């Protein structure tokens, strides 16, 4: 089994290597791919030193699976080339997510749609992944009519530039700005690029990707994306309105038994999900579960997950595990 990781030296690529090793993914030959300046560098994988190669070299080795995390332009250009040689590409960029011929996969929710014929598979946006893991079992039971989402997203979602801006500001150092404003001691209601409709690209990803993964274009969804000065993961305040009414005890039972979900909801002990405790974990944590008394059939949830793990690297590797079973 030859596995290529394209973008292996980036934040998500590094995490992909870690998750492949942790989950004992069946890698016989690893092909870490990076830009020209990193070619020839050594990475350690499973205790062995592995040389970083260029993307053309990796392609010439005919990998079985390629995990891409090198940006949309790279994915658009190279994913089809890898697919042509029989490689299954799992792409972490937004390049293919809304292509009607490319499945958008969160294994706990819709792994059943994958077949051997799918040679390009899209990994959803980090905030979408944790959202649908939590709400999909509730949608199946009660049918979501409307969803209001406010996110509180870690600087790690902006890659190393976001991390460096926060670290520099905390040290009083000047450096490159990933955001149009300071992020330390601040929150910025701006993720992605602004569109003509007044929303941002990150907000519309939550709308479009959630509908595609859940297979339901009828759900009314509105979102506000906010960047916050934390490292450990993304948080989401989610308000759901269902077609059918619910019992809170049943909702708790559904979430407690949902794959990939950990319920953390004990207000008497001040226990609820926080990025501080989600960092380095693969679960989607759900808490502050309560009925919305202002609207019939409505529920409030607080959802937290490590955006580099389940929100990116772990989800991609889990898709790879499904692909291996199909092979």
Catalytic residues: 126, 234
Buried b (16+ CB within 10 A) or exposed e, 246-276: beeeebeebbeebebbbbbbeeeeeebbbbe
How many CA atoms does the CB half-sphere of 303 hold within 13 Å?
29
DSSP 188: B
Reading the block at residue 316, the tokens are 């991609």
- Which runs of E-coded beta strand occur in the chain? 2-6, 29-33, 42-45, 48-51, 65-68, 88-91, 120-122, 144-153, 220-227, 234-242, 261-263, 284-291, 298-305
Q: How many whole angstroms separate alpha carbon 64 and alpha carbon 75?
A: 17
Edge-to-edge, what's the strand order for the sheet holding 120-122?
29-33, 2-6, 65-68, 88-91, 120-122
Residues in CB range of 280: below 8 A, 6 or more apart: 306, 309
């Amino acid at each position: 089994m030859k596995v290529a990781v394209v973008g292996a030296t980036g934040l998500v690529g590094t995490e992909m290597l870690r998750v492949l090793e942790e989950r004992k993914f069946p890698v016989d030959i690893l092909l870490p791919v990076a830009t020209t300046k990193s070619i020839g560098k050594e990475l350690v994988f499973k205790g062995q030193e592995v040389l970083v190669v260029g993307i053309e070299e990796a392609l010439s080795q005919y990998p079985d699976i390629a995990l891409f995390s090198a940006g949309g332009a790279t994915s658009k250009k190279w994913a089809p080339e890898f697919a042509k040689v029989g490689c299954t590409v799992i792409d972490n960029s937004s390049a293919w997510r809304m292509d009607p011929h490319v499945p958008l996969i969160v294994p706990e929710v819709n792994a059943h749609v994958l077949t051997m014929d799918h040679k390009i598979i899209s990994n959803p946006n980090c905030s979408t992944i944790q959202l649908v893991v939590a709400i999909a079992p509730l949608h199946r039971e009660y049918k979501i009519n409307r969803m209001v989402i406010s996110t509180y997203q870690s600087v790690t979602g902006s890659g190393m530039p976001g991390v460096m801006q926060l670290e520099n500001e905390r040290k009083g150092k000047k450096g490159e700005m990933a955001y149009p404003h300071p992020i330390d001691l601040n929150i910025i209601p701006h993720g992605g690029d602004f569109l003509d409709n007044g929303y941002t690209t990150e907000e519309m990803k939550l709308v479009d990707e959630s509908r595609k993964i859940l297979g339901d274009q009828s759900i009314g969804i509105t979102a506000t994306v906010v960047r916050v000065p934390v490292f450990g993961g993304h948080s989401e305040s989610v308000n759901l309105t269902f077609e059918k009414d619910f019992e809170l005890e049943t909702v708790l039972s559904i979430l407690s038994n949902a794959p990939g979900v950990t319920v953390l909801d004990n207000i008497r002990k001040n226990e609820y999900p926080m990025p501080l405790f989600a960092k380095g974990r693969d679960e989607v944590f759900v808490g502050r579960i309560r009925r919305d008394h202002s609207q019939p059939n409505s529920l409030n949830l607080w959802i937290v997950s490590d955006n580099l793990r389940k929100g990116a690297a772990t989800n991609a590797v889990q898709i790879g595990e499904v692909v291996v079973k199909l092979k």
